[in-house]
């Protein structure tokens, strides 16, 4: 049992060209990321950076968080102080 959207999101962190196909170059680059000392941080960033623009906006953040267990269990507040601090009150930062 798996969630197709979750698999798509994970695959998108390797598919930097956003073609829905992972090229050999992208696969090799992703494998290099996974072997780096800070692989967890790099992979998490790529996962959140939906459009590969090297930044994470509030929409990117919310899209991923909505697929996580903590959201389901804790009903994450997307208007919380955390969101305001990192994305601004208007969520434009």
17-50 pLDDT per residue, tens: 888 899 999 999 888 888 888 888 888 898 888 7
Confidence at residue 72, expressed as pLDDT on a 0 to 100 scale: 62
The model's pTM:
0.62
For residue 76, what are its two tokens?
């994450």
- Closest among 90, 88, 10, 21 to 47, alpha carbons compared: 10
Does 73 or 78 have the greater pLDDT score?
A: 78
Residue corresponding to tokens 């267990």: 69
Domains of the chain, residue spans: 1-49, 57-93
Task: Report the interhelical angle of 4-12 vs 39-48 (nearest 10°).
Answer: 110
Which letter does DSSP use for residue 3 in this model?
-
Does 56 or 39 have the greater pLDDT score?
A: 56
**CB contact at 8 A, 63 and 72:** no
């Amino acid at each position: 049992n798996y969630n197709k959207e979750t698999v798509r999101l994970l695959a998108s962190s390797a598919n930097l060209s956003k073609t829905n196909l992972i090229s050999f170059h992208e696969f090799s680059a992703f494998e290099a990321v996974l072997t780096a000392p800070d692989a967890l941080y790099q992979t998490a960033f790529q996962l959140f950076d939906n459009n590969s623009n090297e930044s994470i906006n509030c929409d990117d953040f919310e899209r991923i968080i909505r697929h996580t267990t903590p959201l389901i269990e804790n009903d994450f507040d997307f208007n919380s102080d955390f969101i305001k601090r990192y994305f601004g009150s208007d969520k434009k930062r």
